[in-house]
Amino acid sequence: MENNNPDYVYENVIQINDADSSRKYIAKVFTWMFVALGISAFVAFEFATNISLLRLIIDPTRGGFTGLGYIAVFSPLAFSLVMNFGFNRLSYGAVLTLFIAYAVAIGISLSIIGLIYTASSIFTVFLSSAAIFGIMAIAGYTTSMDLTKFGSILIMIFLGAFVVSLINFFMGSAQLSYLLSFVFVALMIGLTAYYMQMLKRIGAGIEYGTAESKKLVIIGAYVLYTTFINLFMSMLRLFGSRR
């Protein structure tokens, strides 16, 4: 059937280019996300298997965190604030350096889980988290539903839950921690889909070859990496087998 719309070809070309641009951007984002996961896994393994390194963050006499241990636990928050609020003022090299340092700090923090949970349960929960994350990432990328309002609500709930979790870190309530784990699992599942749709749209409008585009790739990797780590840790608290 003939189509007399003069914009028909032009519109379809733009849609194809946008789709290709999104796929290219998402591929780079996931590449850097996997790099960060690799760095964290390596650092966590080194600290967990080296008693000298582990003693830098855990005091063997009283069983609590050392000063460096507290820095390792809370430094990711500082990195997050700098990356979020200093994005426009930071160079690509600075953003990349912060991202790698963030992955190292997370790795140091994750080394402690080997002392709490069995290796088999860590591996099982990791695979389960990866499967859920992958499913929701695909759903967020392919859905035609606008998740903007949905994502905004989830982010507000996450901020509230995060503040409560910080307070509970010092209160030490096991019941509240258990409840928060359910909340964070649900939030991370929903946010994975939302972030994927958001990154797909960013990729469609990105101008490649600029410093800004390179920074956006790192920020996208940071967002997905953080979401996955939060999902994994929350599921581990719920389903991990303790030693």
Task: Give the HSE-up count for residue 220: Cα atoms under 13 Å, Cβ half-sphere.
Answer: 27
The pLDDT assigned to 18 comes to 64
Tell me which amino acid residue 88 is: N
The pLDDT assigned to 26 comes to 92
The pLDDT assigned to 1 comes to 40
The pLDDT assigned to 10 comes to 32
Which distant-in-sequence residues (6+ apart) come within 8 Å of 208 by Cβ?
21, 24
Report CA dihedral (145, 146, 149, 150) to the nearest 10 degrees: 40
Read off the pTM: 0.85
Residue 36 backbone dihedrals phi, psi, to 5 degrees: -65, -40
- What is the CB neighbour count within 10 angstroms for residue 211? 11
Burial 32-64 (b: 16+ CB within 10 A, else e): bbeebbebbeebbeebbeeeeebeebbeeeeee
Low-confidence residues in the chain, pLDDT < 70? 1-18, 63, 208-209
Q: Of all residues in the chain, what percent carry a pLDDT higher than 90?
A: 46
The pLDDT assigned to 232 comes to 95
Token pair 């070809």: residue: 9
Q: How many helices (H) and strands (E) does the chain have?
A: 9, 0
Pick the closest to residue 55 from 44, 68, 40 (CA basis). Answer: 68
Mapped onto helix, strand or coil, the DSSP state of residue 4 is coil
Token pair 């609020």: residue: 85
For 219, the enclosing helix (H) or strand (E) is helix 211-239
